Structure formats: structure tokens, C-alpha cells
Amino acid sequence: MTRIPVITNILAYNDAVARDVRQAIGPRVLTLNLISSPGAGKTSLIERTAAALAGELRLAVIEGDLATTLDAARVAAHGVPVVQINTDGGCHLEARQIMAALPELPLAELDVLIIENVGNLVCPTEFDLGEDAKVALISLPEGDDKPLKYPGIFLAARAVVLNKMDLAPYLPMDVERLRQGIMTINSDASIIPVSCITGEGLAAWLEWVRRELRAKRARISYTKHAESPTP
């Protein structure tokens, strides 16, 4: 009997589509894949980002949810183009879903595209959506032991946002132990503590976004320069 390598094929197919997504988005739009547990504050961070960057950078959002358009409505209220993907029970977004959403977005006019993944700290990690960087978001009430218990996402993330810093005084957890756990898994990750309620730390988050955008565009310029024929 022939073995059918089904699981391998799912990921290989996704990776191929993710390359197409990356191509379609092009070299000037920074694309972030935002991943966290349910209720850690992905939508709140996007709302804060949209409000803060208005007039400076052009943002669009793809919202992934099992069901409802609650999050998309929250983001759309900030005047940002939003596409909703309902996964109908699916536990993560896949590249083919992003590809299907792209024609709904004014890509040529954008600076930053944020993809809000389904609330799940495990499954989204495996699926490349064509993003430039994965951003993990962890909220303080989840506890300081999460990086060691869910290492995959912290290893894959270029930045880890620690949200709900305003709750720190009321929680039986240690922010320093959380930070150490992240650094044990991934010493290269930028760790950015914020509160989407008080606004604490958001300036550092926005600066990280601006820096990633500049870095992406600098890579293009450098590549173009290096490849251009000497006159």
C-alpha cells in the first residue's frame, strides 16, 4: 500500500501560496501576522495602532475569526480598510485565505498590513501567511510561565508585545520572569510592554513598526542599487 503524506502536503502547499502572497503584497507594504491567545488584546492593539498612525502611515487589516464580524467592526470604526475572514471553526489562518482577501484591499496605497490571526497560541505558528514578521502578543493575566509552555510562537516571533501592563499590580505573576522566559526561547525577539488601556509603551510599539517598515524598504533600495547596472 502506498503511503499518502497528507500533512506534509498541507504545509508545503501553504508555503507555496505564502510565496505568492508575499509577491502580490510587494516590497513596500510591511505585513505583520499578529498571533495570541483569545482575548489577549490583538484587536485593541490594532485599534490603538490605527488611531496613532492615522495621517502618518496607511494601514489595512485582515481579521481572522472563527465566527462573527465583531473585531472587524471595531477596526473599521477607525476608518481603516478591513477584510474579514471567517474560518468557520478553523483554528488558524492559511495563506490561501490571505490570497483571497488581497483583491479587497488597496495594496498600492498601503504602508502597513496587519493580519489578526485566530485567537490561538499554538496552531497559527506553523502557517506562513506571506508576512514579513510574526508578532506574538501575550497578556499579563496569562501568567509568566507561558513562553516555556508554548515555545513555538515565541521562537517564531520577531517581536513579543506584553499587553495589559496596567493589571500588573493585581496579578500573581512576575513580569521579569515572563521576559526571561521569552529571552530563553528567543534572545533576538524585541520585547515591548504595553497597555492598550492606559497607552503605556505604545510609543515603543509604533517605533518598532516604523523601524520594520524602513528596514523592509531599505532592503529593496539596497537590492535595487546592488542589481542596477553600472552606467
Residues that bind a second copy (CB under 8 A): 4, 6, 37-40, 65-68, 70-71, 89, 91, 118-123, 139, 141-143, 145-146, 148-152, 164, 166-167, 170-172, 197
Name the residue nearer to a second copy (CB basis): 139 or 190.
139
Nearest approach in angstroms of CB 164 to a second copy is 7
Nearest approach in angstroms of CB 100 to a second copy is 21
Name the residue nearer to a second copy (CB basis): 88 or 227.
88
* φ, ψ of residue 160 in degrees (nearest 5): -120, 115
Name the residue nearer to a second copy (CB basis): 31 or 43.
43
Nearest approach in angstroms of CB 184 to a second copy is 12
**Sheet arrangement for strand 30-36:** 82-86, 59-65, 112-116, 30-36, 133-139, 159-163, 190-193
Q: In degrees to the nearest 10, what's the CA dihedral of 197, 39, 72, 22? A: 100
Residues 151-190, buried b or exposed e (16+ Cβ, 10 A)? Answer: bbbbbbbbbbbbbbbeeeeeeebeeeebbebbeebbeebb
Please state the separation of Cα 32 from the chain's center in Å: 4
Of the candidates 107, 58, 66, 59, which has an alpha carbon nearest to the alpha carbon of residue 84? Answer: 66
Location of C-alpha cell 515565541: 154
Nearest approach in angstroms of CB 220 to a second copy is 35
Name the residue nearer to a second copy (CB basis): 67 or 108.
67
Nearest approach in angstroms of CB 51 to a second copy is 16
Q: CA-CA distance, 100 to 62, in Å (whole number)?
A: 11
Name the residue nearer to a second copy (CB basis): 150 or 205.
150
